[in-house]
Structure 1
């Protein structure tokens, strides 16, 4: 338990770290690396249809979900008399973030240390699987899988770097070494194809700028780092027209490339001075992987990452059988003229492909981060390449994003990725923790939650930092994962703290903070 002085500091910290500092739809950092244009285009289309009285459903808007939560924090702290345990503060942060969602979208959060003697710090959930306003709906638990969207770009980047480590490609190779180009491009859905990508011929005009064509000269590095200038198909209303027209359409990878091929690129492939986030680049990378491996991309993910790491809840959606019997949490978004929709298990999501058409759970994502950034999934040299934040954007390397959060004691770095629908998977080398989960609603902002969590963790866990944690391979036993059976599930109410677990929150010198639900043993 905390003393009176510590309790006072805890109350102040809990209030301070949970205050929303950014209330716009997309934060400045997220504008640099997340699929923000998909948000903007979809919302713009929806508003235009409403104004035209074209039958757009009267669902939630960005404006209606962006409410000030600060008065709610004050009221909650007053009613509860302050948070007496760190797990309560972490759970409250998640609960408040989920309240942004209204009826649509529950939250899942896991915080796990890479230190063997610490292990699982917190695992919790908030809301219901499908509808937070329906008391009969199943409550979300922290072990449930969810769609991870662009977090999947880290998996694609990891495979590319493994191929580099094996000498099968070089980051400065051009795509002309692996793919062919055509001015009479035929959509693969009109052909008989066996690959998920749809073949290895892409539109010759995929990258054209000011009358010149640069497609064949695009490099693997430029595609990984979003410095190619290729247009993101999620920005284009012509793509959205077709995407929304048929929810049951299966999209091959190259199906999406015809849309950016008809648009002028954002800039000439750069020397690192320009940056434009684009899923199109990762579709091309998926084709390169299939060409080199001579296998479907989903099979490559499974053989190289999912099975070796024992990611038992992670799979390529629509392209392989779901491995988990657990119910997947619904993921909501405003989708253009469709209003607020449940995107889960909708076949048209195959359009995401190598850019992030996957589902996983928070535990699998934590283990993947540990192995990618601290372990042996890729070589030390490849990890260093991933973390080159000196090209394109200071917040994006090769399939890996970076953000920093200022606390009272230090600057905390988060390395990882976010995903459409506000999924998140980050590792902090300073705190030595993975923070994974999702808010499952694209109108929310996971950055507000992440900032609150990081400040709370930094406050309670100021321990010596190994500055070389990312660059040095720890022994296998230092990359831990809580074995099955070491946590039990405590069912909470429909609208808060579902299946909370907490372990030692302060490390060896800070005592323990016990959560409201089950504890890590």
Structure 2
């Protein structure tokens, strides 16, 4: 599941307060429609569903494109929101703390036995990705085990009982595993299934229709799609039941997610102090922070605070950004996990509401091995000794052929650079790159084992919006 994307919220210019209280003008509505339809046309993403909050109310919702191979496109269709779900799991913990049934500073071993470091890891550290538990899904594809149903306890047994990646509280590393443990804590303390607890305490009071994403498949639901490099867009096979759970188990419409955003703006459902706790960046032992709170990323740019999270499920990507002081929010849901169109759309819609975004900075790094692998893919060959077992599982003959047939005609890129900084996740090092051509730009997402000669766990190529 995707990491949060700070760049979308971080560079917006100021606009006057009266403009933020208005509904979209006809011109702005046209800009929104053009933004989404252009992004879908250029990226090949089948569909998008968007919602815009302005002045503390929903002023626009719409759905575009093809949501599934059959059926109609509806703006109330529930897309899988994946890691955007984490803020709801964190909210459940905050509700239980408010009732005196647990504390964020309780140790995990009090509720879930057998976890490595459970006597020192706190619930707060689970929710802030500072516990040191290894992430069970750092890849941006379905690894082999995801074809088989799993229970939360099985995820815990396989990943949460490994040696810790670091001493709790000393580093930040995104970990879906920590949220699985948090979900088990909610269920043990509340005596209810996590989704049942959320429905009773949050979704029903707010009038939100929400689904278990494992069940949001088939007729009437959006279908997930993907593509290998620039190959054809194909329907993808969902993960077997159980893999997202408390780390990303929810499916809902863009309007429903915007309704939750308004609850955040209004400080409804949760106590105001609990909203503030969720949005307060958690500090490491050395006093530093990257702005992540409890299930949300936070930050300030140009004097404006934002609360944000993105999500990735099999065949789906989502972006949710809230601007508390401006009473504004942007929700973008797409049914493909092979394009950054969701980010492009969110960035441009936020620009319509708040101002013009600033380009994200790039950071150069070591890329010789990645460039070699990229060139091999263009030629239809791949040195599989440089890949992990999961990466070799991903590059099937069909996938490899799609890479070759779509990349080879482009020739060699005119530029190949790293974007952003390397980050540790799930025991791997994540680096992202951009390959530039005269008429197109490609994004390359990689994970590799640590060390200069670490094998590649992931190398995915997707088109990048201009």
Change (3 A) 1:310 1:157: same
Of 188, 208, 222, which aligns to 1:329?
222
Of 273, 284, 288, which aligns to 1:381?
273
Query: What are structure 2's unaligned runs of at least 5 residues?
Result: 9-24, 357-466
The reply to whether residue 398 of structure 1 matches residue 398 of structure 2 is: no
Q: How many residues align structurally?
A: 330
SS in structure 2 of the partner of residue 285 of structure 1: helix
Aligned residue number for residue 281 of structure 1: 178
Aligned residue number for residue 156 of structure 2: 257
Of 434, 441, 451, which aligns to 2:336?
441
Compute the displacement of 1:334 (Å): 6.1
Of 407, 413, 416, which aligns to 2:308?
416
Given that 1:111 and 1:120 are in contact with CA atoms closer than 8 Å, whether structure 2 keeps it comes out as yes
SS in structure 2 of the partner of residue 438 of structure 1: strand
Compute the displacement of 1:96 (Å): 2.4
Of 43, 47, 55, which aligns to 1:106?
47
Question: Deviations along 1:51-78, whole A, 9 cap, x unmatched?
Answer: xxxxxxxxxxxxxxxxxxxxxxxxxxxx
Moved more, 363-372 or 446-455: 446-455
What are the residue-to-residue correspondences of 1:14-413 with 2, within 5 Å? 29=6, 85-102=27-44, 104-115=45-56, 119-130=57-68, 138-181=71-114, 204=115, 207=116, 214-235=117-138, 240-243=143-146, 246=147, 249-261=148-160, 263-270=162-169, 273-312=170-209, 314-318=210-214, 327-333=220-226, 342=235, 346=238, 348-392=240-284, 393-402=289-298, 410-413=302-305
Change (3 A) 1:419 1:282: same
Given that 1:98 and 1:439 are in contact with CA atoms closer than 8 Å, whether structure 2 keeps it comes out as no
Given that 2:79 and 2:334 are in contact with CA atoms closer than 8 Å, whether structure 1 keeps it comes out as no
* Partners of 1:311 and 1:167 in 2: CA distance: 26
Change (3 A) 1:300 1:395: same
Question: Deviations along 1:376-402, whole A, 9 cap, x unmatched?
Answer: 322222112111125254331011122
Compute the displacement of 1:105 (Å): 3.2
* Partners of 2:176 and 2:323 in 1: CA distance: 25
Aligned residue number for residue 428 of structure 1: 323
* Partners of 1:390 and 1:217 in 2: CA distance: 17
Aligned residue number for residue 17 of structure 1: none
* Partners of 1:253 and 1:106 in 2: CA distance: 31
Compute the displacement of 1:238 (Å): 13
Of 350, 354, 376, which aligns to 1:458?
354
SS in structure 1 of the partner of residue 35 of structure 2: helix
TM-score (norm 2): 0.63
SS in structure 2 of the partner of residue 222 of structure 1: helix
* Partners of 1:141 and 1:237 in 2: CA distance: 27
Change (3 A) 1:316 1:112: same
* Partners of 2:4 and 2:251 in 1: CA distance: 25
SS in structure 1 of the partner of residue 92 of structure 2: helix
Q: Which has the larger radius of gyration?
A: 1
Given that 2:281 and 2:291 are in contact with CA atoms closer than 8 Å, whether structure 1 keeps it comes out as yes
Compute the displacement of 1:307 (Å): 1.6
Change (3 A) 1:180 1:130: same
Change (3 A) 1:155 1:343: farther
CA RMSD of aligned residues (A): 3.4
Given that 1:389 and 1:396 are in contact with CA atoms closer than 8 Å, whether structure 2 keeps it comes out as yes
TM-score (norm 1): 0.57
Given that 1:424 and 1:437 are in contact with CA atoms closer than 8 Å, whether structure 2 keeps it comes out as yes
Given that 1:27 and 1:447 are in contact with CA atoms closer than 8 Å, whether structure 2 keeps it comes out as no
* Partners of 2:338 and 2:130 in 1: CA distance: 27
Question: Deviations along 1:464-508, whole A, 9 cap, x unmatched?
Answer: xxxxxxxxxxxxxxxxxxxxxxxxxxxxxxxxxxxxxxxxxxxxx
SS in structure 2 of the partner of residue 365 of structure 1: helix
Compute the displacement of 1:413 (Å): 3.5
* Partners of 2:176 and 2:7 in 1: CA distance: 15
SS in structure 2 of the partner of residue 444 of structure 1: coil
Query: What are structure 1's unaligned runs of at least 5 residues?
Result: 1-24, 32-82, 132-136, 182-203, 208-213, 461-521
Change (3 A) 1:262 1:449: same
* Partners of 1:427 and 1:105 in 2: CA distance: 26
